Amino acid sequence: MDSVTATAIIAALAAGVSGGATELVKTAITDGYNTLKTLLKKKFGERSNVVKSVDVLEAMPDSEASKALVKETVTAVQADQDLDIRQAAEALLMHLKAQPRGEQYIQNAQGSYIAQASDHSSASVNVNTPRNP
């Protein structure tokens, strides 16, 4: 299961508090993100691997490797076990979902042979399926 904290961080950076959101929602997302990052610094230290991984993702928000690093470090330190961090992450996700098309930023997939789609699109995975002549 993916970490709610990692999901919130990745979704917030993917959203980029982009167009379409009201100023109130943008402020709530920014405040929620800053609160979550401050809690991570307070709990694990400003120079901790988890905070460094978030900094790397901020610099390269589209990088799959950076996203994976955040997931790995958040999981490694068990950040979701801290009630304050978990609540801040859940609140941030709630604000992200409230923005127009906010759900598009919050997709998780685990395992092999996974296809994901949204907004009237489709996805499929064909593994070891015989071809018709």
Residues 46-88 have pLDDT tens digits of 999 999 999 998 888 888 999 899 999 999 999 888 999 999 9
Residue 117's contacts (CB-CB under 8 Å, 6 or more residues apart) are 123
pLDDT band at 96 (very low <50, low <70, confident <90, very high): confident
The pLDDT of residue 21 is above 60: no
Residue with tokens 């988890």: 50
Residue with tokens 């610094």: 41
Report pTM: 0.69
Question: Rounded to whole angstroms, how far apart are CA atoms 122 and 62?
Answer: 22
The pLDDT of residue 120 is above 60: no
The pLDDT of residue 105 is above 90: no
